Amino acid sequence: MNITWQHLKTDVLVLGSGGAGLCAVLHLMNHQPQPQVFMAVRGLFGKSGCTRMVQGGYNVVLDKKDSLEAHFLDTLKGGQWLNNQELAWKMVCEAPGRILELENHAGCFFDRNPDGTVHQKPFAGQSFDRTVHKGDLTGIEIINRLSEQVAAMENVTIGEEMRAVDLLFDHSGQKVSGALLIDMRLGEFIVVQSRTVLLATGGGPTMYKITAPCQDKTCDGIAMGFRAGATLMDMEMVQFHPTGLLADNSMISGTVLEEGLRGAGAYLINGKGERYMHRYDPREERATRDVVSRSSFMEIMAGRGTPEGGIYLDASHLGAEFIMNNFRGMSLRCRDVGYDLPNAPVVVSPTAHFIMGGMRIDQDCRTDLEGLFAAGEDAAGVHGANRLGGNGVVESTVFGGLAGDTIADYLTEFQEETVEESQIRGIIESTLEPFQRNSSSSIYSLRDRLKKCMWENAGLVRNEESLEIAHNEMKEIREQLSTIALTQGQRAFHLEWMEYLSMKNYLDVCDLIIESAKFRKESRGSHFRTDFPEKDENLPLSNICLSKNQQPQLSPVLMTHLQPDASVSI
């Protein structure tokens, strides 16, 4: 096998170009001397990823009647007290400064009240209307402005349509010193040797049948971190958004209709024409995402769904003018697939949306691997068992910026380390192996089988039997994947090859989700088991941690600021 690669050297390798990666670069460049940065983007710079898809907004304390303590308590309550309180408090405290930075330095312009102050709207799980937004296209505003700033920086090289395969270590095998990439446009390998690596790829639980994230998200960062030996945490906690648009077999199915609709008063209605949320939670449609998603799923499973297998989201009583003025983006998206959001109910379903789990980090975004940092959805701890809507983009921008600050200091401590060539060859040989096989199996049918299994057995509702089914199914799929043959010829834009690499990452992450879900024998937040339907109040609150070749372990949650029965005073 002829193995070749291009070799690049840089100070910092940033994998991902969403809110976390971009803010990290902006903060890096505020330090002297300014480092050389290589930013690898799996899609197109400024046009891909999940931050761009944020509709709802950005939770931040700006009003004098609001408080950091209230935002913090809302976050802990939403996370069912599994949050790392130091990380959650850091996010809440840094958010006001970051939103000003986004406006005054990056150039974002958010919606205003008539008096010129920033408009903040209601969002589920929030005790105060604190969600800053740009209509229902907040993410586009943030990414457009941030990417403009980064694109103009001389010290930053942007590699578009480059996929990271695995992390690389130095000669000692103890320090992460780069990554192996594939230039998808050419089908060629690139070794990026760096003094440090930031994982900011975004999680994206697209291993489920109905899913909301950008389709270039396949949990690459989490899978790479796991294979490299990093400790992962909270992997059983997969968030399902309550209202994903259903549009037959279209790729748009699962796309989120954001929380602001329910915050503004939209109703959820089952197939019998009944509002049903009062049967599950007194907050009704404004309950947290885990509660609303699970309630809708149970209505569907009980035979009270729509003919399409979903439920209805009805905002028509709010008035067509109000809907078009405040939710124009969603209205146009619905119209594209035949729905009339301002005037009639729309068929929706719970949709896999976010992974609360990821790599365990400290307050400076350090993982437990030397040289490896993580921010955004690749990291765990901020959200606990359930993320509040509007807290995701806060986490990405806050911790991305903090990662940039920490990495700038880190660069003064560590010099360049050469990566081991034997590991490069080993990874490339494994990556190219399917081109040497002969098989008639379809990678796409295998992918669909995996997604269906995870949706039915390890999704919104789980139990020991279903998780065991999922475990055995993943084992069979992994065995079949090891026999898959890829079409010979040019590797440029080889979609089957990319799907094969995604499947490898899916399987690693699916195993982690299943293993953690089996280990947590209670229901809490987004993790619901029919055989253990209640919280186990007799056990101390703990996170489930996993690492390569080790059994799951419990890590006690440290109540460094608040106890579960606390008020907002800290």
The CA distance from 122 to 297, in Å, is 24
According to CATH, the topology of domain 242-350 is Flavocytochrome C3; Chain A, domain 1 (3.90.700)
Query: For 376-379, which contacts have Cβ atoms below 8 Å and span 24 or more sequence positions?
Result: 376/16, 376/18, 376/19, 376/20, 376/21, 376/200, 376/202, 376/400, 377/20, 377/50, 377/202, 377/203, 377/204, 378/16, 378/20, 378/199, 378/200, 378/201, 378/202, 378/203, 378/221, 378/222, 378/225, 379/199
pLDDT in tens, 270-316: 999 999 999 999 999 988 888 899 999 999 989 999 999 999 999 99
DSSP 8-class letter at 11: E
What is residue 40's three-state secondary structure?
Answer: strand
Query: Tokens for 229?
Result: 């030996």
Q: What is the pLDDT of residue 566?
A: 62
Identify the pLDDT of residue 259: 81
Backbone angles phi and psi of 420, in degrees to 5:
-75, 125
Instruction: Please give the radius of gyration of the chain, using alpha carbons only, rounded to the nearest integer.
Output: 23
Task: Give residue for tokens 């996370």.
Answer: 79
pLDDT digits (tens, 9 = 90+) for 248-258: 878 788 988 88
Q: Tell me the HSE value of 366 on the side-chain side, using a 13 A CA sphere.
A: 14
Say whether 128 sits in a helix, a strand or coil: coil
Show the CA angle centred on residue 348, arms to residues 344 and 352, nearest 5°: 155
Q: pTM score, two decimals?
A: 0.94
Residue 560 token pair: 């460094």
Sketch the domain layout of the chain as residue ranges.
6-237+354-410, 242-350, 421-535+544-551
Q: Of 133, 163, 262, 478, which one is the catalytic site residue?
A: 262
Annotated catalytic residue within 42, 145, 163, 241: 241
CA atoms within 13 A on the CB side of 300: 22
Cβ 503 vs Cβ 511: under 8 Å? no
6-237+354-410: CATH superfamily: FAD/NAD(P)-binding domain (3.50.50.60)
Measured CA to CA in angstroms, residue 114 lies from 58, 111, 118, 141, 393 at distances of 20, 10, 9, 21, 26
- Cis before 434 (ω within 30): no
The yes-or-no answer on residue 262 being catalytic is yes
491 catalytically annotated: no
Q: What torsion, rounded to 10 degrees, do the Cα atoms 435, 439, 444, 446 define?
A: -120
Yes or no: say if 185 and 203 are a contact pair by the CB < 8 Å rule.
Answer: no
* The domain made up of 421-535+544-551 is a member of CATH 1.20.58.100: yes
Q: What parts of the chain have a pLDDT lower than 50?
A: 568-570
pLDDT of residue 415: 75
pLDDT tens per residue, range 192-246: 999 999 999 998 899 999 998 888 899 999 999 999 999 999 999 999 999 999 9
Looking at residue 282, its pLDDT comes to 92
Q: Are 210 and 253 in contact (CB under 8 A)?
A: yes
